[in-house]
Structure 1
Amino acid sequence: MICSVVVLAALSGCAASSDSDIDSESSSGDPGTGAGPGIDDIGGATGGELGGDFTPGATPGGEEVDCGRQNFDVERKPASILLVLDRSASMLDDPSGDDGTPSKWDIVVPALQEVITATNASASWGLKVFPQGHRTGSCSAESFPSDILIPIAMNNASTVNAAISSTEAEGDGTPTGDAIDTAVEYLKTIQNDDPKYILLATDGDPSCPKSDADEFAVQAITNAAAAGFHTFVVGIASSASKIEALNDLAVAGLEPRQDPDPLAPRFYLASTKDQLVTSLQTIAGQVSTCLFPLSAPPPNPDHVGVFVGEQAVKKDTTGADGWNYTGPDMRTIKLYGSACDQVASSGAGSVKVIFGCKDDPIY
């Protein structure tokens, strides 16, 4: 779900000017084009880059100033999700493990494509499939995953879905650990502050390497979490051993399915298409970010107000409950705690950010 943030920027660095000052410094009479500080002086951005029309403002005392209020919309920063999709031949079995219909592949593919399309604007998707090749032999070197099929990108749903449609479940073996290791190496190359996740869709037991495949896969997902990439696990299990394997992977990924029943599966269920769609929608909701990029850094970083609806959100550098900049460039803010929860429930359109001039009240 893409939402907009209305940013009201009362641009600072704006000394009060008399009428004579304005007349002498701007032949056009436009207070935004005089020699004094104006919108072009803010972080190198022009009025066109920020969007909207520049309008004059006033100090609390009523004096005209060379800056004013600027309204523009920005979009919530999307999460990055790398789908790691199991295409082993066992995905052609039905959920009971027999050669029936619909197959696990027939359940997983349309559900994935439906949710990827629905979240195209709120998530940047990429795709990794495993194992690779056809009739290469179970756990052969040729079947080990070695590349990313579709790199993560914004508005990538049609590309990812086309690649899924052209993929067939005909691989030998299930090298889950190798696939996750490859995913992590790829995610490390993406140099931005977008939150990044792995979505593992599989039907159960890893099988490569043959000696300790389960432990190897769990360790790979543990290492991914340690590197900052949590893993959501969605799966179709047809036996107790497969349920146990999927549970272990889900717990290691640090994003297990929440259920008050301690005996319930910890992975997200995919026994039917509708069930999988529900699971994937839950995951998409959990990864929705509370990150909001700004077109330019605030002219006065210590005089910024953030509101969710009419409720003021205070700056909190601890990241517990409030808002803060995500980096020294001050081009993205993040909401934490109850403020983020409120945005998730009410929509990001309820968020308002004010860039205040030095002496303007913002709260």
Structure 2
Amino acid sequence: DGLPQFMVLVTDGAANCSLEAADEAERFEVYDEALTQTIMDAATNGIPTFVVGIDIKDEVSETKQDGNPDATNTFQKLNELAVAGGVPKNDPNEQFYNSQNQIELQSALTAIAQQVLPCVIELNPVPVYPDEVQVTVDGVLYEDPVVDCDSEDGWMFVDETYMQIMLCGQACAGFQSSGNLAADYKCPIDG
């Protein structure tokens, strides 16, 4: 239906629970290598995966019965998953979103939303009467286009082809947080 497809993997540790585990101990103590291939397959099929870690340290785990994969550097594994997912952060040392608290987690999710829900929207069909277009974003009606996208809330046409609109200010933020947008094409009222 034309909507972007993506996955967000949020975790506080390394992947375990492999379907191929020989027993219950292995299920929790061995890293699930199949996850990387699953994420690569999704990316190949046009579904990228964003990886978000919660309080992930760059260290190798101990070998002990604790429910976490043994001798595994979760930080390194999440970097690998971020690359496999096709949308790593632009930081060669930390390619996944590593959140230490609620504010950082919200910031990571907002950054992801801004990537998957851009504020330039294709109009199909192109409006016959561009002066009569009204845009509603997340329940807020913006009747007329704005003049300055940098300082106003609302929308404007990208250019005079009227094929795209750009959401501005709170309209862009509302779309990125909700994904809800409607463009209504009105007819001019003869008067």
- Please, what TM-score do these two structures have when normalized by structure 2? 0.53
User: Does the 8 Å contact 1:304/1:353 carry over to 2?
Assistant: no
Whole-Å separation in 2 of the counterparts to 1:197 and 1:216: 19
Question: What's the offset of the Cα at 1:244?
Answer: 0.5
SS in 2 for 1:196: coil
Question: What's the offset of the Cα at 1:270?
Answer: 2.0
Q: Which residue is equivalent to 1:274? A: 103
Describe the shift of the 1:195–1:346 C-alpha distance in structure 2 as closer, same or farther (beyond 3 A): same
Provide the aligned C-alpha RMSD in A. 3.9
Structure whose alpha-carbon radius of gyration is higher: 1
Question: What's the offset of the Cα at 1:214?
Answer: 4.8
Question: What's the offset of the Cα at 1:242?
Answer: 0.3
User: What's the % identity of the aligned pairs?
Assistant: 30
User: Does the 8 Å contact 2:7/2:50 carry over to 1?
Assistant: yes
2:12 to 174, 183, 203: 203
Whole-Å separation in 1 of the counterparts to 2:171 and 2:97: 25
Whole-Å separation in 2 of the counterparts to 1:269 and 1:235: 5
Give 1:278-289 correspondences, 5 Å limit: 278-289=107-118
User: Does the 8 Å contact 2:127/2:185 carry over to 1?
Assistant: no
Q: Which has the higher contact order (CA 8 A, sep 6+)?
A: 1
Matched, 1:231 2:60: no
Residues 322-345 of structure 1: CA deviation (Å, up to 9, x unaligned): x75xxxxxxxxx56xxxx5xx366
Whole-Å separation in 2 of the counterparts to 1:279 and 1:268: 6
Whole-Å separation in 1 of the counterparts to 2:41 and 2:35: 10
Q: Which residue is equivalent to 2:74? A: 242
Structure 1: gaps (5+ residues): 1-191, 316-322, 325-333, 358-363
Whole-Å separation in 2 of the counterparts to 1:280 and 1:233: 10
Describe the shift of the 1:293–1:219 C-alpha distance in structure 2 as closer, same or farther (beyond 3 A): same
| Equivalent AA in structure 1 for residue 8 of structure 2 | L
1:251 to 77, 83, 99: 83
Whole-Å separation in 1 of the counterparts to 2:115 and 2:127: 33
Question: What's the offset of the Cα at 1:229?
Answer: 1.1
- Please, what TM-score do these two structures have when normalized by structure 1? 0.30
Which stretches of structure 1, 4 residues or longer, exceed 3 Å deviation after superposition?
209-215, 289-294, 297-300, 303-312, 343-349, 352-357
User: Does the 8 Å contact 1:221/1:252 carry over to 2?
Assistant: yes
Whole-Å separation in 1 of the counterparts to 2:83 and 2:110: 19
Structure 2: gaps (5+ residues): 23-29, 61-72, 134-144, 149-156, 175-182
